[in-house]
């Protein structure tokens, strides 16, 4: 818009130079045209520089996000697992635990990166078993309560009919009431699908529960690393 305004006035002033023959008016018009020309010469480099700075800032932000990607579990190899998981609950899992795990499943499914569906699955398919356990911390451990436990178990077969599958587990320590909540369920489910611990407090995979119930950009990036190459 700035360029159009300048060009418009330039045309008006040039036209005025033809209409009016008075030397004083012509001199004023010439001076005005010179000023406008200088303004254009100054504005173009400034706008170009501003655009360059914005581009560099965007690139820096993207590189920073990539650098902070949540680590993967040590036994996970990117691009080897299908995105679909079949999950089931042990018979002794109470309803309140089932509820928070179902909510966690919905959150992960909403990313579109993984697909968790109810069922047992076959040995060649990814599976997640949800369970509960009771573990009382000793007096020496009271400062750090274990709220849950989970992780991937990679099954591989080579040669004819080769496959790689994850038979994962995800459980909550019902010895402590604070374990039965969505943030803990999402953290343990994250371990099951391959996410390791992160040193970023904004990540669901930070080792100490922060009460977070949404996947951070770094968590999403890690899931993409694991699953988007293989597909279904």
pLDDT digits (tens, 9 = 90+) for 51-85: 433 444 444 444 444 458 999 999 999 999 999 99
User: Could you tell me what percent of the chain has a pLDDT over 70?
Assistant: 68
pLDDT of res. 144: 81
Residue range 187-206: mean pLDDT, rounded: 97
Q: Please report whether residue 121 resides in a domain.
A: yes
Do 145 and 110 sit in the same domain of this protein?
Answer: yes
Query: How far is C-alpha 230 from the geometric centre of its chain's CA atoms?
Result: 19
Quote the domain boundaries for residue 55: 2-67
Domain-ending residue, one of 21, 42, 67: 67
pLDDT digits (tens, 9 = 90+) for 154-192: 999 999 989 999 999 999 999 999 999 999 999 999 999
Q: Are strands 84-89 and 115-118 parallel, antiparallel or unpaired?
A: parallel
pLDDT digits (tens, 9 = 90+) for 217-232: 999 999 999 998 766 7
Alpha helices in the chain (DSSP H): 2-19, 23-67, 95-109, 182-192, 217-227
Q: Please report whether residue 77 resides in a domain.
A: no
Q: Please report whether residue 73 resides in a domain.
A: no
Q: pTM of the prediction?
A: 0.71
């Amino acid at each position: 818009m700035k360029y159009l305004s300048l060009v418009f006035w330039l045309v008006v002033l040039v036209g005025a130079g033809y209409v009016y023959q008075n030397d004083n008016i012509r001199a004023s018009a010439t001076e005005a045209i010179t000023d406008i020309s200088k303004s254009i010469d100054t504005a173009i480099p400034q706008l170009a520089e501003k655009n360059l700075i914005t581009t560099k800032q965007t690139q820096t932000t993207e590189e920073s996000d990539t650098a902070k990607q949540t680590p993967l579990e040590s036994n996970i190899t990117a691009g080897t697992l299908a995105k679909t998981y079949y999950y089931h609950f042990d018979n002794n899992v109470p309803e309140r635990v089932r509820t928070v795990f179902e909510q966690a499943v919905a959150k992960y499914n909403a990313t579109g990166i993984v697909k968790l569906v109810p069922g047992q699955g076959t040995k060649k398919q990814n599976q997640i078993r949800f369970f509960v356990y009771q573990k009382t911390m000793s007096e020496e451990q009271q400062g750090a309560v274990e709220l849950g436990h989970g992780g991937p178990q990679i099954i591989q077969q080579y040669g004819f009919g080769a496959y790689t599958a994850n038979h994962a587990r995800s459980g909550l320590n019902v010895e402590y009431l604070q374990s039965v909540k969505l943030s803990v369920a999402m953290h343990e489910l994250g371990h099951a699908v391959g996410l390791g611990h992160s040193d970023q407090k904004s990540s669901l995979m930070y080792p100490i529960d922060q009460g977070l119930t949404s996947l951070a950009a770094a968590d999403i990036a890690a899931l993409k690393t694991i699953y988007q190459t293989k597909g279904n």
